[in-house]
């Protein structure tokens, strides 16, 4: 419970600070949403909540959604062009890592959307793994665009926080339900447009 209390105090402190920042509040929270894709410890739901409170539900959700897409794809892209060549040269040929990366490379679009849509998954580590893999950039971008809709709903519209999910069974059920819906939508889109074939890494790594 001490860890939960620490997170709760941190979230409350950040929320209070941003809400007292006046006209700078939505700007600061939007910048922090972008940075959340690079720094796993940042509580994105606090920043989304601030955007909703300062800009309204509709505009706040749209701005938060755009910012989280930018932040996550930017982190993925930087890992792809900066770390991926070094990873492939010095580490990627090790048997266990190579096996794991092959699993990531072959991950279906719907599974990728599912992982991205889980609110407890640190964005940075997902971006890092995808950046080090051979997942096509367009495939990851489209998966982000679909999966992050659920994140905005989780943390913003539903008013759900990590603390709520850990302590409130009803909130946990809502989160699980949203993840299931997002996974089903991803499968439907994948089947309708045959995205796995379009983004076949053996044919196209762009």
Domain map of the chain by residue range?
2-198
Which range among 54-63, 112-121, 140-149 shows the weakest confidence by mean pLDDT? 112-121
- Residue-wise pLDDT for 5-22, tens only, equals 655 666 677 777 777 877
Listed residue (77, 81, 79, 59) closest to 69, CA to CA = 77
The candidate with the shortest Cα–Cα distance to 78, out of 33, 112, 107, 38, is 38
Confidence band of 202 (pLDDT split at 50, 70, 90): very low
- Between CA 133 and CA 143 the distance in angstroms is 15
How many angstroms separate the Cα of 29 from the Cα of each of 1, 35, 94, 110? Answer: 28, 10, 41, 30
């Amino acid at each position: 419970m001490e860890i939960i209390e620490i997170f709760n105090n941190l979230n409350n402190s950040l929320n209070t600070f941003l809400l007292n920042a006046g006209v700078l509040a939505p700007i600061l929270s939007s910048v922090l949403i972008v940075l959340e894709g690079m720094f796993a410890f940042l509580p994105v739901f606090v920043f989304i909540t601030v955007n909703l409170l300062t800009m309204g539900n509709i505009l706040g959700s749209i701005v938060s959604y755009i910012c989280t897409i930018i932040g996550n794809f930017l982190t993925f892209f930087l890992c792809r062009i900066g770390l991926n060549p070094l990873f492939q040269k010095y580490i990627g040929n090790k048997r266990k890592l190579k096996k794991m990366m092959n699993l990531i490379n072959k991950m279906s679009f719907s599974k990728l959307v599912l992982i991205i849509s889980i609110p407890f998954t640190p964005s940075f580590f997902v971006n890092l793994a995808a950046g080090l893999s051979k997942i096509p950039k367009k495939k990851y971008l489209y998966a982000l665009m679909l999966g992050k809709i659920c994140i905005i709903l989780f943390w913003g519209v539903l008013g759900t926080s990590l603390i709520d999910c850990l302590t409130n069974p009803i909130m946990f059920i809502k989160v699980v339900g949203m993840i299931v819906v997002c996974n089903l939508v991803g499968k439907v889109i994948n089947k309708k447009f045959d995205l796995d074939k379009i983004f076949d890494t053996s044919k196209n790594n762009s």
